[in-house]
Chain A
Amino acid sequence: MTAEYAIETVDLVKRYPTSARRGRGWGFYGGQVTTFGGVLSIFRGIRGPFVEALRGVNLRVENGQIFGVLGPNGAGKTTLIKILCTLVIHDEGEAYVNGLDVRKKPIEVLKNLQAVLPESRGFNWRLTGRENLEFYASLYGLRDKEAKERIDYLLDFTGLTDRANDGYQRYSSGMQRKLLLCRALLRSTPIMLFDEPTVGLDPASAEEFRTLLHDRLARKEKKTILLSTHNLYEAQDMCDRIAILDRGKIVACDTPDNIRYTMFDEKVFEVTFIDAIYGDEHERMVDELEKMPGVHGVTPDVDPERNFIGISIRVNKSMDLSDILDVITKTGLKIRMINTEEPTLEDAFMAITGHPERRRTWGA
C-alpha cells in the first residue's frame, strides 16, 4: 500500500489519568486492590484528573526521511512513539502509518513499522543473543531458512557475530542496544521508530549507532526513521526535519537549519583586529556603529592594556555587512578575521521551549 506520508498524525490528543486518587485510600493503593471499591474501580472507565500528554499534534513524515522529535522531559515524545507502535491508544485525533489507522489496524501497522524502545528490552537474560533473536523471528512468523539468513545478516550488520552465542546478560549497554536494533530489523519494515536511541551509550558507541542509523538504515536501506532525542547535536547532525514538542504541542517543525535561523531575528558579527590600541576614534566608531539602522548592539573587546582585540556586533540577520566594514576600515583598523556566529539548534530549542527571552537576545 502506498501512502502520501509514512507517518501522519491529525490533531492527536492523549490524556493520562493521574494516580492521585490511588494514594488517597480509594482502594487502589500502590497498584494493589485492597478494597471492594478498588475492585470496582478496575471495571469503571478511565477517571480523572488527567494530564494531557499530547494536545493536538499534527505531524507529517515523508517516506525516506529521518525525522527527529525533540522536546524536554514530559513533552510527549515517548507517548507519540508508543501511539504509533500501537502500545498506547490515543483519545482523540488520528494517527496513520503508511496510510493505516493505528487504532483500527494495529496488526497491519506493525507490519510497516517497528520500534526500538530503550526501556522495553524484552530479551531473556539467560539466553544468548542468537537464541533471543531466534525466538522473536518465530514470533514474527519468519520461515526457518529466512530467519537464519536474516539473523546472520543482522548480527553481521551490527557487528555482533562474534558475541552472538554469549548470554545476553554478558552484553554491554552498546551491544544490548545493537541487539534491540537487530530484533526491530528482523521483520524488514519500511519505517523504524527510535526512542532516545543513544541514551546511556558512551560517546564512541553513540557515534557508531548514529552512523548505523544514518548511513546504513536511512541512506542505504531507504527506511523512514522517526527518532526522539534529547541530544540536539544528534538531531542537527542526522535529521532531515525535526519537530520540537513542548508540553504536548508541536511548537516548531522544519529542517534543522530553518529552525535555527527562523527562530532568531539577528546574527552576531565578530571582527578581530591586528595590533590595535583602543583610542578615542574607536569610541566614536562604536557610537557610529550603534546608530546604524539594523545594528542592535556593539561590544568592543578591549583588554586591560587597552589592546583593541576585536568587536562583536549584533545585527539584523538580513543586514548588508559591507556598510559596517566601511565604518571599521575607515578608522585604519587592520582586520585579522571576520566571523559570523551561527545560532545552534540548542539556542533555538532553548528559545522555543523554556527561555523565550533568548528568542531575540541570542548571542548577547
Chain B
Amino acid sequence: MELPVELKQIIAFTKRDFFSWTTYRALMITQVVNIFIGVFSWGVGAAYVQRPVSEMYGSDYISFLLVGIAVGNLIMPLAQGFQALNPWTLETILMTGISTTVFVIGNVMWTYIFSIVTFIPYLIIGISFFHVKLNVNVPSTIVAFTVSAAILVGLAMISTGLRIVTKSTDPITWAINVLQNLFAGIAFPVIYLDTIFFPGASTISWFLPQTWVYHLCRLSMLTNPSLLDPSILIQFLEGSVFAVILLPVGYKVFQWGLNRSKREGTLGWY
C-alpha cells in the first residue's frame, strides 16, 4: 500500500533537504559539534546560578534553562527553513501545483526533525553532567509539541508570506523575535518580569505565541502535568487558541503574499 500523496510530498521535501544537508559535510560536523558546545556552555553558566524556579514549575534553574534552550532550538529553525528558500526554486515548485500546506510543512520538516534530534543530546548531557531533573508527562508533552508546532507553522507562514513580498526580512517576525528575547521567558520565568519591571508586566508575555510554546513544553516536561487536571487543561487550551488563530491567519498571509508577488511579477526575485 502506498502512502498518501501529501505525505509522500512532505517526505520528498524532507529527503531533499536531508540529502542536501549531508553533502555539506563541514556544516554537518559543525552543527553536531555546536550541539555539544552549546549545551555545555549554557550548562556551565547556569550551574553557577542554580536558582530555584519554584514559582512556576517547581524546578531548579538548570532544568528550567535546559528545557528552554532545547525548545528554543525547535523554534528558530522553523523560520530558518523559509529563509533558505530560493525564489528560483519557489517558481518551479509552485508550477507543480502542490498545496500551500504541503509546501509549508515540507519546507520546515527537515529542520524540525533536525531540531528534535538536537533536543535529545541536550537532555542526555543535561541529565548526565548537570543533574537536570525532568518530570515528564508523555501525553501532555506530545500535545505541547503538537500545539507548539502548529503555532510555529502559523508564524512561519506569516513570515514567508511577507518575505515573498519584501524579499528580505519581514517586520512582523523581526518584531516578535525581538520581543521574544525579553518577554517569552527563554532564560527566566516570565513571572520575574513583574519583579524586574512593574507588577503585571508579565501579562504582556502571554500575548506572545512563543511564550506559550516555552510554557507548555516546560510545563509538560518539568511538572508531570495531567491533561485531566482542569487547571492544566485550561492552560493547554489557552495555548491552542494561538494555534487556532495563527494557522488560518498564516495561510491567508501566505496566499496574500504569493498573489501579491504574482501580480507584481516578482515571484522569482530575490
Contact surface of A with B, Cβ cutoff 8 Å: 14, 16-17, 31-33, 39, 42, 46, 53, 79, 82, 85-89, 91, 106-107, 110-111, 114-115, 117, 119-122, 124, 126-127, 131, 134-136, 138-141, 143-144, 167, 183, 187
Which residue of chain B lies nearest to A90 when distances are taken between CB atoms in the complex?
B263
Which one of A33, A106, A111, A121 contacts B166 once the chains associate, using CB atoms below 8 Å?
Answer: A33
Query: How far apart sit A179 and B11, CA to CA, in the bound complex (Å)?
Result: 22
Min C-beta distance of B56 to chain A, whole Å: 35
For the residues of B in contact with A, the DSSP-based class is helix
Could you tell me if B97 and A42 are in contact, using CB atoms closer than 8 angstroms?
Answer: no
Please determine whether B97 and A106 come into contact, CB atoms closer than 8 angstroms: yes
Interface pair B263/A135, CB less than 8 Å apart:
no
Tell me the bound Cα distance from A198 to B50 in angstroms.
Answer: 67
B residues in contact (CB < 8 Å) with A: 2, 5, 8-9, 11-13, 15-16, 19-20, 23-24, 86, 88-89, 91-98, 162, 165-171, 259-260, 262-265, 267-270
In contact, A126 and B20 (Cβ under 8 angstroms)? yes
Taking a contact as CB atoms under 8 Å apart, the answer to whether A31 and B162 are in contact is no
Give A195 to B16 CA distance when docked, in angstroms: 27
CB within 8 Å for A120 and B168 given contacts A139-B12, A143-B2: no
> In the assembled complex, which residues on chain A have CB atoms less than 8 Å from the CB atom of B97?
106-107, 110-111, 140
CB-CB under 8 A for A16 and B20, given A32-B166, A139-B93: no
- CB < 8 Å: which of A16, A32, A121, A187 contacts B92? A121
Interchain CB contact (< 8 A) of B95 among A86, A126, A143:
A86
CA A82 to CA B265, docked complex, whole Å: 9
- Give the distance to chain B from A135, nearest Cβ to Cβ, in Å: 5
**Distance in angstroms between the alpha carbons of A91 and B265 in the assembled complex:** 11
- Contact flag A120-B92 (CB < 8 Å), given A16-B264, A42-B162, A126-B19: yes
The contact of A88 among B11, B165, B262, by CB within 8 Å, is: B262
Verify A127–B95 contact, CB threshold 8 A: no
CA distance in complex: A127, B16 (Å): 8
**Which of chain B's residues have a CB closer than 8 A to the CB of A117?**
91-92
What is the bound-complex CA distance between A183 and B110, given in angstroms? 23
